[in-house]
Amino acid sequence: MKISLNWLKEYIELNDLSVDEIEEKLTIAGLEVEEVIDQNKIFENFVIGYVKEKHKHPNADKLSLCIVDDGENELSVVCGAPNVDQGQNVVLAKVGAAIPGSDIIVKAVKLRGEKSEGMICSEKELGISDNHEGIMVLEGDFTPGQSLSDALGLNDVVYDIDITPNRPDALSHVGVARDLSAMLNRELRKPVVELEEDEIESKKYAQVIIENAEACPRYVGKVVTGVTIAESPGWLKKRLTSIGLRPINNVVDVTNFIQQELGQPLHAFDLDQLAKSKIVVKSAQSGEKFVTLDSKEHEMSEDNLMICDGEKAVAIAGVMGGENSEVTVDTKNILIESAFFTSASVRKTSKKLGLSTDSSYRFERGTNPDNVVLAARRAAQLIAELGNGKIAKGEIDAYPEELKKLKVKLRYSRIERILGYFIAPDKVQSILNSLEIPVVGSDDESVTCEIPKFRPDIEREVDLIEEVARINGYDKIPSVDRVNITLDPKIDQTQKGENIRYALKELGFREIITNSLLNNEVAKKFGKPISSLNPQTIEMTNTRTSLIPGMLTTISKNIKVREVNLNYFEVGNTFISNNEGEINSFDDITEHENLLLAITGKQRDDEWYGKGRAYGIYDLKGLVQDFMTKIQLDKETRYQYNRQNNSIYEQSIELFVQDVQVGIGGELSREVLNYFDISQKVFLFNIDLDVLRQFEKKERKFNDLLKFPKVVRDFSCVLDKKVKSEKVISVIKKSTSKLLKSVKLFDIFESDSLGKAKKSLAFQLEFFDETRTLTDEEVSKEFWKAIESVKKEFNAQLRGA
Amino acid sequence: MKEKIQEIKKDFDDNLKSVSDLKALEELRLKFLSRKGQVTQLFDAFKALPTEEKKLYGKEVNVFRNTLQTKYDKLKADLEAAKVDEKDVIDLTLPGRRKELGSLHILSQTLYEIKEIFKSLGFSVYIGPEMESDHNNFEMLNFPADHPARDMQDTFFINDDFLLRTHTSPVQVRLMETSKPPLRAIMPGKVYRNEAISAKSYCLFHQVEGLYVDTNVTFAELKGTLIAFAKQYFGEDVKYRFRPSFFPFTEPSAEVDLWWEPKGKEGRWMEILGCGMVDPNVLENCGIDSEQYTGYAFGMGVERIAMRKYGIDDIRVFFDNDKRFLTQF
């Protein structure tokens, strides 16, 4: 919310504080200043200039050459505006001036050969209006050299404050002044309303009936008659424009002014447009159509509260008035609405209609029912003053049931218990009083407050503690320099994820983190997706069903910037619907942590010592094997191969641990790659970490290392090309005793010389026993058993042993 | 004899041609000129010849041996000379043979650094699901339905009851519902905000939630703990401030700003985390007696912290995963 410093100063003395000091005070009071717009700073180097002479530019038809008096010197300034003339007072941007809202800094330059030592400005260039038809010519008495801020009163400072939702009391200039008065311990000067009222009572002009008192506990109407609708005077327009509001006419401007001054939203009705001079506050009829001030039609429902006259709806309560009863140039008699609508009711309507206004914003957060009469009177005062109207006597105050004030007890001991330091009781009381939270009772241990209606956020003891802490200053809260630590065993549920990331780092992978939101088309390729009700864009309608799209998008982007050799991984959650997208309980969601490995391009760049080798399927498998070794599950791991193209992979490798599938990967299919605009081969492997977790090793056991030498024997044999190496190894293992500790395939040779569709495989067998040295004979016996079984099983021929 | 000499000579010359280093030359010497070499053997054969034949071949054999020896000596000298040059030829300015290095994403690194500090202060670490119930994400945390406080966190809703969590605070709820105080834990993870993607905001980011509930927890302890963290992470001289703020689940609430002077720019306060004393309503919602127990909670943005630490000014670079970015960390 924008707060004007000049305006604020009406209610509290601040002249001795700098702009920065006030900003600091507001922020440490909890009214966080997000931006300071200081006109004095903006209009530094802008002065009143007097045009002494105007000549035609010798080298340009449309330019003039002016001699401008800036109070000290006579400057030569080139100007392009047709309306510039001798004898004018103008706004001169001197050398060094920064033109607001642009990057332009005025410099001394030569324009078409003539010296120009400044710039004569238009209103648009100054950011005061949209008028850019020529330069701004000032009427009245001005002195050359006078600063623009002084001359035009452009010396305001506007604080843009982020008011948190719990502080509706601070959504006005008086409200902000109240906090400052408490912070600075200074007097708060609230506006005084003294009215000269007519004899005829407001009640005689109109009648107010509340049908829905739950949504509208109080409605005050006040009448002003014989008003002349006109432009607002300068002081009022300036107040409104300073905080970015557009002046409309004296009546509307007054209602807006009071909303910003007191925080009470008001509405002005043309009394003569209200049928039967009646206001009826009631729920809308379902399907009812209503046209608001901005000429938009809305369809209402039963939970929308409407303001109606004797026949029809005239406003959406607390949100916006209707076209049919708005104040126009012909309006004479005004009914001022100053009401208290409940926040729930206004919020519901505002959300439903997608219509948020300054008024609904305040009602949603909570306004003050005890403020409505004052606001109505203040509005009547100003409208009568500015429009020569007569104020009808008294108010129509429909208030079926008075809202009681809450009493809250605050224990001094509890302050210390929560904040960790002691605040003296008289200090506590003075802080509460300075916030206009009256103390209505106290004893040695506690104080009891009556909570004013402008503080709907204060309901409990702890809420009062916050007020005391806030005004006393958070910097006064000490910070302890030691803490107690319990000695129970600590849990770290992220430790496994961290171990996995470091394991992959050691294997040379780089971690990426991608968006978890996807478009529906992609999401559904990888599983039953879950969609969001209110996506930001159509590219982000669903939660990801797989890490693959994010990875491929990343790879594609990298390739476009010529980073073509990549080995990436991501660890992240995927979301699959178990119930056709319907989510009624957590059981309908499978949210699993997954790991996706990706390799593409070459293992490394080409270097002087050799070309980089292109990544292939065996690199992928090797990396998966290395990973499984790192997490100590390599012994329980089994791979299964699927030659069928499954639309994602050309052919896939499935990873099993103890007969449970934990992962799948392979070379990506062309179709998928094309979708992501990738032309090079990509190899991916996905592991479901939540499934893998059940096999995690709890402890590691020392394996007694070998005291006795191992015996190594090699043999090679020729067999059919189709025979899978894994099969041969399993036959070798089966045929031998436990003395055989490992079998390694160390050479593959294919040649026509071996026979058609034949290949030669060479195996290395390692034998040992943990308890003794093996004899040659027993090793040979095992070795030959292995060879014989291979020969028999695969019709293989021994090439050498 | 004559033929034999010719044969050896030819063999020697052939061998000599292929000698390119001292090792091969030594092999040549062993084959021909050593004590068991062919030339020596030829001499032995010569010695066994009858006298008149000795006369006939004597000179020839000697010349033959000397020729071979000369050729050998010359080549040896040449090779030795060349060998000295070889050292100069080694170009150690060439880059070494290297392996591709791996790396953790800078957000993971930052998260683990934060985690280590809090673990050293006695915190456990818990995680929870990203797809949460409205109940855990809002209601239990004292965000009433239809309250403007809900506007503080733009939410991706799945339906009326489920959503993508907007903060890691629902993990607090899960922890408090299942465990008894004292509870001291941090809860890191991804959170989602339904905001347009820009340099300042992304639709998701990472948060580290902190919670401590016990019989004697105060704001002063919260302050001490967070200052200890800030000093350890950003350095002893870090400048900070606590200022009042509002979160439905804490009361009193605060935000912590750190002073930041980006290179060549004016210094400013940068909001780094939100915190406060756990609201009694939240404790009661989770079945904890709010008169007996008090607690504090805090939540910090990992991206913010990394941006502050490394001088990153656009949040999107974290999620673009450009290799040129990843290799910097």
Taking each helix axis from N to C terminus, what angle separates A358-365 and A343-353, rounded to the nearest 10 degrees? Answer: 140
Residues of chain A neighbouring B108 (CB-CB closer than 8 A): 498, 501, 511, 513
Q: Residue B84's pLDDT is what?
A: 64
Q: In the predicted model, what is the mean pLDDT of residues B226-245?
A: 95
Residue A638 lies in a domain: yes
Q: Distance between CA atoms of B252 and A402, rounded to whole angstroms? A: 30
The A residues from 596 to 615 touching B (CB cutoff 8 Å) are 603-604, 607-609
CATH of the domain at A540: 3.30.930.10
Residue A147 DSSP label: B
8 Å CB contact between A59 and A45: no
% of chain B residues with pLDDT over 90: 60
Kindly report the nearest CA distance between residue B177 and chain A, in angstroms. Answer: 17
Please indicate if any CB of chain B lies within 8 Å of the CB of A293. Answer: no
Q: Distance between CA atoms of B326 and A341, rounded to whole angstroms? A: 54
Measured between CA atoms, the residue of chain B closest to residue A467 is B252
Q: Over the stretch A290-324, which tens digit does the pLDDT of each residue have?
A: 999 999 999 999 999 999 999 999 999 999 999 88
Q: Distance between CA atoms of A660 and A85, rounded to whole angstroms? A: 90
Q: Under CATH, domain B106-326 is a member of which superfamily?
A: Bira Bifunctional Protein; Domain 2 (3.30.930.10)
Residue A706 lies in a domain: no
CATH of the domain at A13: 3.30.56.10
Measured between CA atoms, the residue of chain B closest to residue A553 is B320
- B319 and A364 in contact by Cβ < 8 A? no
- A167 and B246 in contact by Cβ < 8 A? yes
Measured between CA atoms, the residue of chain A closest to residue B131 is A591
Taking each helix axis from N to C terminus, what angle separates B51-89 and B2-17, rounded to the nearest 10 degrees? Answer: 0
Q: Residue B85's pLDDT is what?
A: 65
- A377, A398, A419 — which closes off a domain? A398
Residue type, B108: S
Kindly report the nearest CA distance between residue A770 and chain B, in angstroms. Answer: 37
Kindly report the nearest CA distance between residue A167 and chain B, in angstroms. Answer: 9
Residues of chain B neighbouring A507 (CB-CB closer than 8 A): 102
Q: Over the stretch B183-219, which tens digit does the pLDDT of each residue have?
A: 999 999 999 999 989 998 999 999 999 999 999 899 9
Residue A80 lies in a domain: yes
Please choose, from the candidates A261, A472, A519, A275, the residue with its C-alpha nearest in 3D space to the C-alpha of residue A381. A261
Nearest to B102 among A344, A484, A509 (CB): A509
Residues 6+ apart with CB under 8 A from A770: A704, A706, A707, A708
Nearest to A474 among B148, B162, B242 (CB): B242
Residues of chain B with CATH 3.30.930.10: 106-326
Task: Write down the ipTM of this complex.
Answer: 0.87
Q: Residue A520's pLDDT is what?
A: 92
Residue A190 lies in a domain: no
Measured between CA atoms, the residue of chain A closest to residue B204 is A515
Q: In the predicted model, what is the mean pLDDT of residues B288-317?
A: 94
Q: In which band, very low, low, confident or very high, does the pLDDT at B40 lie, cut at 50, 70 and 90?
A: confident
Give yes or no: residues A716 and A689 share one domain.
no
- A369, A398, A427 — which closes off a domain? A398
- B322 and A563 in contact by Cβ < 8 A? yes
Torsions phi, psi for A106 (to 5 deg)? -70, 130
H helices within A130-199, ranges in order? 148-152, 173-184
Please choose, from the candidates B317, B217, B6, B262, the residue with its C-alpha nearest in 3D space to the C-alpha of residue A418. B217
Kindly report the nearest CA distance between residue A266 and chain B, in angstroms. Answer: 21
- B130 and A591 in contact by Cβ < 8 A? yes
Residue type, A283: S
Q: Distance between CA atoms of A372 and A453, rounded to whole angstroms? A: 11
Kindly report the nearest CA distance between residue A590 and chain B, in angstroms. Answer: 10
8 Å CB contact between A175 and A11: no
Nearest to B104 among A347, A462, A511 (CB): A511
Residue A495: helix, strand or coil by DSSP?
Answer: helix
Angle at A738 between CA A735 and CA A742, to 5 degrees: 85
Please choose, from the candidates B248, B258, B249, B171, the residue with its C-alpha nearest in 3D space to the C-alpha of residue B208. B171
Q: Residue A800's pLDDT is what?
A: 78
Q: How many other CB atoms are found less than 10 A from the CB of residue B180? A: 10
- A505 and B104 in contact by Cβ < 8 A? yes
Residue A490 lies in a domain: no
CA atoms within 13 A on the CB side of B115: 23
Give yes or no: residues A117 and A166 share one domain.
no
Give yes or no: residues A366 and A504 share one domain.
no
Kindly report the nearest CA distance between residue B228 and chain A, in angstroms. Answer: 8
**Token pair recorded at residue A176:** 């902000």
Residues of chain B neighbouring A351 (CB-CB closer than 8 A): 146
- B157 and A533 in contact by Cβ < 8 A? yes
Count of structural domains within chain A: 6
SS3 for chain B is CHHHHHHHHHHHHHHHHCCCCHHHHHHHHHHHCCCCCHHHHHHHHHHCCCHHHHHHHHHHHHHHHHHHHHHHHHHHHHHHHHHHHHHHHCCCCCCCCCCCCCECCHHHHHHHHHHHHHHHCCCEECCCCCEEEHHHHCHHHCCCCCCHHHHHCCCCECCCCEEECCCCHHHHHHHHHHCCCCEEEEEEEEEECCCCCCCCCCCEEEEEEEEEEECCCCHHHHHHHHHHHHHHHHCCCCCEEEEEEEECCEEEEEEEEEEECCCCCCCEEEEEEEEEEECHHHHHHCCCCCCCCEEEEEEEEHHHHHHHHHCCCCCCHHHHCCHHHHCCC
- A573 and B324 in contact by Cβ < 8 A? no
Contacts 24+ apart (CB under 8 A), A228-235: A228/A387, A228/A388, A228/A389, A229/A327, A229/A328, A229/A329, A229/A330, A229/A331, A229/A387, A230/A386, A230/A387, A232/A386, A233/A386
Residue A703 lies in a domain: no
Q: Distance between CA atoms of A569 and B103, rounded to whole angstroms? A: 10
Residue A31: helix, strand or coil by DSSP?
Answer: coil
Please indicate if any CB of chain B lies within 8 Å of the CB of A509. Answer: yes
Please indicate if any CB of chain B lies within 8 Å of the CB of A100. Answer: no
Give yes or no: residues A29 and A53 share one domain.
no
Mean pLDDT for back-to-back runs of 10 residues, chain A (801 residues): 96 96 95 92 91 89 90 90 90 90 87 90 81 83 88 89 95 97 96 93 95 96 96 92 91 97 96 94 94 93 94 95 91 96 95 94 96 97 95 95 96 96 96 96 95 96 97 95 88 94 96 95 92 90 96 96 95 93 91 97 89 93 94 89 82 93 95 94 96 83 77 92 91 90 92 87 91 89 92 89 73
> In this structure, what is the dihedral angle of CA atoms A622, A627, A632, A635, given to the nearest 10 degrees?
-30
- B147 and A165 in contact by Cβ < 8 A? yes
Q: Residue B57 above 80 pLDDT?
A: no
Please indicate if any CB of chain B lies within 8 Å of the CB of A508. Answer: yes
- B102 and A536 in contact by Cβ < 8 A? no
CATH of the domain at A783: 3.30.70.380
Q: Distance between CA atoms of A352 and A305, rounded to whole angstroms? A: 12
Measured between CA atoms, the residue of chain B closest to residue A610 is B97
Q: Which residue has the tokens 């001289």?
A: B237
- A607 and B97 in contact by Cβ < 8 A? yes
Kindly report the nearest CA distance between residue B217 and chain A, in angstroms. Answer: 7
Residue A466 lies in a domain: yes
Give yes or no: residues A648 and A742 share one domain.
no
Give yes or no: residues A739 and A681 share one domain.
no
8 Å CB contact between B149 and B143: yes
- A641, A660, A695 — which closes off a domain? A695
Q: Residue A708's pLDDT is what?
A: 85
Torsions phi, psi for A22 (to 5 deg)? -65, -40
Q: Over the stretch B120-149, which tens digit does the pLDDT of each residue have?
A: 999 999 999 999 999 999 999 999 888 888
Residues 6+ apart with CB under 8 A from B102: A504, A505, A506, A507, A508, A509, A510, A511, A567
Give yes or no: residues A553 and A668 share one domain.
yes
Residues of the domain holding A596: 495-695
Measured between CA atoms, the residue of chain A closest to residue B191 is A516
Please choose, from the candidates A114, A126, A125, the residue with its C-alpha nearest in 3D space to the C-alpha of residue A78. A114
SS3 for A277-346 is HEEEEEECCCCCEEEECCCCEEECCCCCEEEECCCCEEEECCCEEEHHHCCCCCCCCEEEEEEECCHHHH
Give yes or no: residues A755 and A719 share one domain.
yes
Please indicate if any CB of chain B lies within 8 Å of the CB of A28. Answer: yes
Residues of chain A neighbouring B95 (CB-CB closer than 8 A): 607-608
pTM above 0.90, yes or no: no
Residues 6+ apart with CB under 8 A from A181: A12, A187, A188, A434
What is the DSSP track for A395-462? Answer: -EEE-SSPPPPEEEEEEHHHHHHHHSS---HHHHHHHHHHTT--EEEE-SSEEEEEEPTT-TT--SHH
Q: How many other CB atoms are found less than 10 A from the CB of residue A276? A: 11
- B131 and A532 in contact by Cβ < 8 A? no
| Cross-strand pairs, A74 | A69
Q: Residue B285 above 70 pLDDT?
A: yes
Kindly report the nearest CA distance between residue A511 and chain B, in angstroms. Answer: 5
Q: Residue B137's pLDDT is what?
A: 96
Residues of chain A neighbouring B321 (CB-CB closer than 8 A): 512-514, 554, 557-558, 568
Give yes or no: residues A639 and A501 share one domain.
yes
